[in-house]
């Protein structure tokens, strides 16, 4: 009975440990990673808040065109009555000017005032400029989506490539361990050379070092991928996609440089943003120029006041004063400050126009470079496919020759090294092609979360 209980406990502990090990792995596809980045990327969260901030700025600017109503209530106690000055004849005095103490010691005052801009060209241009700035922030958010998608996809493919390389190196390691065992067996029988055994040992240790280095890089890249997508789960990532997935579709993409630039010009958000910056500076220029124009406002006020020497509120009289009118403001001279601001705005507008031309040149160069690399990457992939096939055939032939006593261990080792290198070069060619495909999609403005 006691033995059965111990067996049950052991099984439960083993099952629990297996579940823990399993829980330490988190399956993640590229699609899932992109979706997580849309919600969890910190840089995106900051930019979304910046977009909301721009909306509030637009709202604040628009409010300057709406009526402004304010109220004020005040109380004052005068230790000495207020003094007014009148002609002496009005006050029954022979002095040319006579001061008189008037009013109560308790003074109350309450009023409502109204200001409504009617003709305010500068404010209207500022409101339009705020609207353009809001559009810029929206375009920045979309552009950041594209850049985050490129970053996440690149990190994901890096890990896929290193995992694939680990698989190749692990296969090579197993073959070299077998070769080391054979060398030691032949050396023990006196039919092998010590140098062959030493050579095999060095090859095994070098491969172990490479495997360890790659595993560490995979772990570090996993941490970076988690940071980019905003994943705080401590579990190790297990990528479910394959490095070769969709490679045929990527190879089929073909653009001419001029065609690619037209697509980029229609879709790239950084070009749209720069164009909006030009419009923004032009609107700011118009707003500054409008400061030289007259402004017309509707003004009004309703006032209630009272004064007395006591606190008998029921006996107070409450005189009321109200008015409604127009106020015209004419800018005449402010030390040429406005003219200087106009000149500054013109310079800023010219700078933004030059930046747009420069950005278009950069986009053309970027697309031309990527398309050139793209053609070369396709060529390299075809070469590496043929090279891997040849290396596999060569390794098979050398292995048969060695087993039949027709070839040396050195020939088989060279064939093994050539096969491993060919497979790694093939993986690098696939990785380069997929990365260039991502960069091309990003350069064309077609990549998004």
Domain boundaries defined on the chain? 42-65+121-293+336-449, 70-119+298-330
pTM for the whole structure:
0.81
Query: Which pLDDT belongs to residue 449?
Result: 82
The fold for domain 42-65+121-293+336-449 equals Outer membrane efflux proteins (OEP) (1.20.1600)
Contact 364, 257 (CB under 8 A): yes
Contact 443, 367 (CB under 8 A): yes
Query: Which pLDDT belongs to residue 52?
Result: 95
Query: Which pLDDT belongs to residue 253?
Result: 67
Query: Which pLDDT belongs to residue 198?
Result: 84
Contact 103, 78 (CB under 8 A): yes
Query: Which pLDDT belongs to residue 111?
Result: 94
Query: Which pLDDT belongs to residue 138?
Result: 95
Query: Which pLDDT belongs to residue 86?
Result: 83
**DSSP 8-state code for residue 85:** E
What burial letters (b/e) apply to 363-401, b meaning 16+ CB within 10 Å?
A: bbebbeebbebbeebbebbeebeebbeebeebbeebbee
Low-confidence ranges of the chain (pLDDT < 70): 1-23, 246, 248-253
CA distance 374 to 344: 44
Query: Which pLDDT belongs to residue 248?
Result: 66
């Amino acid at each position: 009975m006691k033995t059965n209980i111990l067996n049950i406990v052991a099984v439960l502990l083993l099952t629990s440990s297996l579940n823990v090990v399993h829980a330490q792995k988190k399956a993640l596809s590229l699609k899932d990673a992109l979706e997580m980045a849309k919600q969890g990327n910190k840089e995106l969260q900051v930019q979304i808040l910046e977009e909301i901030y721009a909306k509030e700025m637009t709202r604040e600017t628009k409010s300057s065109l709406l009526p402004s109503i304010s109220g004020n209530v005040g109380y004052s106690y005068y230790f000495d009555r207020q003094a007014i000055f009148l002609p002496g004849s009005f006050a029954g005095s022979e002095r040319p000017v006579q001061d008189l103490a008037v009013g109560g010691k308790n003074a109350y005052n309450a009023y409502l005032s109204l200001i409504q801009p009617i003709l305010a060209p500068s404010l209207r241009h500022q409101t339009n400029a705020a609207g353009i700035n809001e559009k810029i922030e929206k375009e920045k958010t979309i552009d950041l989506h594209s850049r985050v998608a490129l970053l996440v996809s690149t990190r994901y493919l890096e890990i896929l490539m290193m995992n694939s390389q680990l698989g190749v190196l692990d296969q090579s390691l197993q073959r070299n361990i077998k070769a080391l065992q054979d060398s030691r067996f032949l050396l023990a029988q006196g039919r092998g050379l010590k140098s062959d055994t030493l050579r095999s040992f060095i090859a095994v240790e070098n491969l172990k070092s490479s495997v360890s280095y790659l595993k560490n890089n995979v772990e570090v890249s996993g941490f970076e991928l988690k940071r980019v997508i905003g994943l705080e789960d401590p579990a190790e990532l297990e990528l479910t996609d394959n490095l070769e997935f969709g490679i045929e579709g990527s190879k089929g993409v073909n653009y001419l440089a001029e065609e690619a630039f037209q697509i980029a010009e229609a879709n790239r958000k950084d070009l749209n943003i720069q164009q909006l910056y030009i419009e923004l500076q032009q609107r700011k220029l118009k707003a500054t120029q409008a400061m030289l124009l007259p402004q017309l406002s509707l003004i009004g006020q309703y006032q209630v006041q009272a004064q007395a020497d006591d606190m008998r509120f029921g006996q107070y009289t409450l005189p009321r004063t109200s008015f409604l009118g127009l106020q015209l403001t004419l800018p005449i001279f402010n030390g040429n400050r406005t003219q200087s601001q106009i000149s500054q705005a013109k310079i800023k507008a010219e700078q933004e126009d030059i930046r747009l031309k420069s950005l278009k040149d950069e986009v053309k160069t970027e697309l031309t470079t990527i398309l050139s690399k793209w053609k070369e990457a396709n060529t390299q992939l075809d070469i590496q496919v043929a090279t891997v096939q040849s290396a596999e055939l060569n390794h098979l032939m050398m292995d048969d020759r060695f087993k039949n006593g027709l070839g040396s261990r050195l020939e088989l080792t060279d064939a093994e090294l050539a096969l491993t290198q060919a497979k790694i070069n093939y993986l690098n060619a696939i990785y380069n092609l997929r990365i260039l495909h991502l960069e091309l999609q990003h350069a064309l403005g077609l990549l998004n979360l």
